[in-house]
Amino acid sequence: MSSWSPEALVQKSQEAREQAYCPYSKFRVGAAVLASDGTVFTGCNVENACYTAGLCAERTAISKAVSEGHKSFKAIAIASDLEDRFISPCGACRQFMREFGSQWDVYMSKSDGSYKLMTVEELLPCSFGPDDLRANENHSTFDIKP
């Protein structure tokens, strides 16, 4: 992971968790995503009174990276206050991560800093991604075959 260790990435996600805005659920989540060039971007969950308008930590960190020109990632670490199990990304975040590839690492951690490693592909098997749309580039949705 370049000069970043999994433990250092988990630590950054724990630091990001401290910035969480979660007045409704009180469930703090932080994420730290490692871009392919070694840059780390952090994010936290940001809730909204209109619940569906909230944003998860993973999507915040990735969006922050993309907004600064990064679209290739090596790893992401996720932290929460859970003590008895590893924090896992929700389905929407799994699909969001998949947009940027299926072969990068996801470090799901507990509040004590221990972590479990999986890949995006392991978290979202048989996924739908950008390549699936490219496969139909040469076909019009209006083509009618006899």
Going from N- to C-terminal start, the domains of the chain cover 6-134
pLDDT of residue 2: 53
| pTM for the model | 0.89
Of the two residues 90 and 4, the one the predictor is more confident about is 90
Name the pLDDT band for 93 (thresholds 50, 70, 90).
very high
Active site residues: 58
E strand segments, 3-136: 29-35, 40-44, 73-80, 105-109, 115-119
In SS3 terms, 12-29 reads as HHHHHHCCCECCCCCCCE
- In tens, the pLDDT along 34-43 reads 999 999 999 9
Binding site as annotated, residues for Zn(2+): 56, 90, 93
Mention every residue, 6+ apart, whose C-beta is less than 8 A from residue 17: 28, 29, 30, 44, 57, 79, 80, 81
In the predicted model, what is the mean pLDDT of the chain? 93
Gap between the Cα atoms of 129 and 135, Å rounded: 11
Binding site as annotated, residues: 45-51, 56, 90, 93
Would you identify the CATH topology of the domain 6-134?
Cytidine Deaminase; domain 2 (3.40.140)
